[in-house]
Structure 1
Amino acid sequence: MTPSRPGAGLLLLLFVATAMLGACLPGGGDARAPIPQALVPADGPASRLVVVLPGRGDDIAALRASGIAPAVQAAWPDADVMLTGLGFAYYMQGRAPQRLHQEVIGPARQRGYREVWLVGASMGGMGSLMYDRAYPGEADGLILLAPYLGKRSLIDEIRAAGLARWQPGPAPAEVDADNYQRELWRHLQSWQHDAGRTGSVWLGYGAQDRLAGAMPPLAELLPEDHVVVVEGGHAWKVWSPLTQRMLAAAGPARLDQRSP
């Protein structure tokens, strides 16, 4: 089944809602060009790949400076790290998950990696969740760093009801600008019955992060020890050490989950 394609109006609304909430937004980029990529190879043979999705204004140079690649490899020395420039232009095109799959993750599988994980910060965290919705389980694990999860009124609605009892309403025929956040939460709600998914998802953020108030409904879906809250705000100086800590806790690759 081909994943539904969000329209440009959907992503325009995402831009507006994100800006209003002060959330991170990836740099623009040129969606006519391939997604920028920079491989940071492991010192030795690599059995897995960690793909990094950027936050607001992050290009490849900013991701290099963020310390995220050394943080990943300090925890997983056998991991190659792929820094990406999946900027806002790709989301505005309406095909960010598809482009990510076709240009980054699919080719990685063809190169023989036995595990592919996504690390996404803020908007990149939401991008990771959008990818999981479009291609359920295709990423072996998700590291979500203060992901943008939608407008405050929706988060308040979910928190008031409790995610287990929250009613997203009838599934629409098409995901559009009016319903994409609700449909993302419908997908997350399905994780309540998927221990295999939540067992490989980690959430980390700073206690002073401006998006911290939106994290509890997502945190409640995950094992308690998969949620890490530290002092700090909405920045890579918080996220890179968090990533190292969470990947170290995630332990060795579960290579038995995939057939050769």
Structure 2
Amino acid sequence: MRHKPFALIALIALMLTLAGCLPPSDPSKTIPTLLVPAPQPAKRLVIVLPGRADGLPALRDSGMAAAIQGAWPDADVLFAELTLGYYMQGRAPERLHDEVVVPARQRGYREVWLAGASMGGMGVLLYDRLRPGEMDGLVLLAPYLGDRKLLREIGDAGGIAKWDAGPPQEVNDDTWQREIWRHIQKVSRDPAQSKRFWLAYGDKDRLRNAVPLLAPALPAEQVLVRDGGHTWTVWSPAIGEVLKQAEAKR
């Protein structure tokens, strides 16, 4: 993503900044991280990306680390404060790889998973689009997947399997949503790739309208719907369930 920043994300950023809702973020600096060590000798790592108004304190207090380590006691949890400023800069996936993933892999983990909520779920998809197949597992927690116009276009086409994305394009303001969905379509056609993805969301989530389009791209048993809305109180227990089910499938 080496092009101009996403206009829609920039607009959201401006609105949240004026409302005082954004965590401090300086994309000129290395992505801030917070490591929660595993209670047992660490063999795995789960990297967690924030929603649009979340920083490291919100991630720390979200219950995600306890839920992840309740399922996988041998997993370190690494919160990465990949906030809106990094996406607006236009190189979020590249920087996540260089500044967070590469140093983490140098620690010798057996597995590395990437999870994200809302905007962070979008970040998970952008990362996998940049480096497909690199992560051992990916968890989408009520991901933001674009505006209603594109969702309507995909729905009117008969779903992701029948949708014609058109020719591939470089990612910029005008194309990033379409390119995310192109990647989802590509994943849906490759069982080896789709089985790495898990989706969890609340039945009252404000972004749930995208789920009927996304869910068919993934194995049905890897889509979890739970009571609740767009909140960590849904996502944290859900990721614990996801990881327990993933372990049971091995």
Q: TM-score, normalised by structure 1?
A: 0.89
The counterpart of 2:210, out of the listed 211, 214, 236, is 214
- Distance apart, 1:193 and its partner CA: 2.2
Q: Give the conservation status (yes or no) of the 8 Å contact 1:51–1:116.
A: yes
Alignment-derived partner of residue 5 in structure 1: 2
Q: Per-residue displacement from partner, 1:46-98 (whole Å, max 9, x unpaired)?
A: 11100000012211111111100000000111100001111111111111101
Aligned to 1:74, the other structure's residue is in SS state: helix
| 1:84 counterpart = 2:74 | no
- Distance apart, 1:249 and its partner CA: 0.4
Aligned to 2:184, the other structure's residue is in SS state: helix
| 1:115 counterpart = 2:115 | no
| 1:14 counterpart = 2:9 | yes
Pairs within 5 Å for 1:101-112: 101-112=97-108
Alignment-derived partner of residue 168 in structure 2: 171
- Distance apart, 1:27 and its partner CA: 3.7
Q: Unaligned 5+ residue runs, structure 2?
A: 16-20
Taking the aligned partners of 1:100 and 1:158, their CA distance within structure 2 comes to: 29
Q: Give the conservation status (yes or no) of the 8 Å contact 1:125–1:147.
A: yes
Instruction: Give 1:194's aligned amino acid.
Output: D
| Identical counterparts, % of pairs | 55
Further displaced range: 38-47 or 117-126: 38-47
- Distance apart, 1:192 and its partner CA: 2.2
Taking the aligned partners of 1:6 and 1:28, their CA distance within structure 2 comes to: 23
Alignment-derived partner of residue 18 in structure 2: none
Instruction: Give 2:7's aligned amino acid.
Output: L
The counterpart of 2:200, out of the listed 204, 210, 231, is 204
Q: Unaligned 5+ residue runs, structure 1?
A: 255-260
Q: Give the conservation status (yes or no) of the 8 Å contact 2:9–2:84.
A: no
Aligned to 1:46, the other structure's residue is in SS state: coil
Taking the aligned partners of 1:86 and 1:192, their CA distance within structure 2 comes to: 26
Aligned to 2:46, the other structure's residue is in SS state: strand
Taking the aligned partners of 2:75 and 2:175, their CA distance within structure 1 comes to: 37
Alignment-derived partner of residue 125 in structure 1: 121
Aligned to 2:217, the other structure's residue is in SS state: coil
* Runs ≥4 residues deviating over 4 A: 17-20
Taking the aligned partners of 2:53 and 2:148, their CA distance within structure 1 comes to: 23
The counterpart of 1:51, out of the listed 27, 47, 56, is 47
Alignment-derived partner of residue 137 in structure 1: 133
Taking the aligned partners of 2:144 and 2:33, their CA distance within structure 1 comes to: 23
**Root-mean-square deviation over aligned CA pairs:** 1.9
Instruction: Give 1:6's aligned amino acid.
Output: H
Q: TM-score, normalised by structure 2?
A: 0.92
Q: Give the conservation status (yes or no) of the 8 Å contact 2:46–2:112.
A: yes
Q: Give the conservation status (yes or no) of the 8 Å contact 1:35–1:86.
A: yes
Alignment-derived partner of residue 235 in structure 1: 231
* Corresponding pairs, count: 244
Q: Residue 89 and residue 19 in structure 1: after superposition, are their counterparts in 2 closer, same or farther (change >3 A)? A: closer
Further displaced range: 226-235 or 161-170: 161-170
- Distance apart, 1:244 and its partner CA: 0.5
Q: Per-residue displacement from partner, 1:177-223 (whole Å, max 9, x unpaired)?
A: 11111111111110122111111210000010000011111111111
Q: Give the conservation status (yes or no) of the 8 Å contact 1:40–1:81.
A: yes
Q: Per-residue displacement from partner, 1:13-68 (whole Å, max 9, x unpaired)?
A: 33437999xxxx97451001111111101112111100000012211111111100
The counterpart of 2:63, out of the listed 67, 71, 74, is 67
Taking the aligned partners of 1:6 and 1:230, their CA distance within structure 2 comes to: 37
